[in-house]
Structure 1
Amino acid sequence: MPRYSPWEEKGRSLRKWIECYHEPGCPYPRSTFSITCNPQPPEYSVAHEAVWLDSTWDTWIYPLDLPDELNKIEIANRQGPPVGWEGRTGRGVVFVDWIRRSRRSTAPYMSEFTKGAYEMDFPLNTLRYVFVTDISETDTVQCIRDKVYRSEGLPYPSNDQVVWTPSREYDTLLGTTMGKIVAAFILCAWGQGRKRIARIVTFHDGEYLQRLNMRFDVEDI
Structure 2
Amino acid sequence: MSPDVLADAIRGRLIVSCQAPPGDPMRHTATLVRLARCAQAGGAAAIRANGPEVVAAIRADVDLPVIGLWKDGDTGVYITPTVRHALAVVEAGAAVVAADATFRPRPDGGAFTDLVTAVHAAGALVMADVATADEGIEAAARGADFVSTTLSGYVPGSAAQDGPDLALVEELAAAAGAPVVAEGRIGTPDEAAQALARGAHSVVVGTAITAPTALTRLFAKSLSRP
Structure number with the bigger relative contact order (C-alpha 8 A, sep ≥ 6) is 1
TM-score (normalised: structure 2): 0.30
TM-score (normalised: structure 1): 0.30
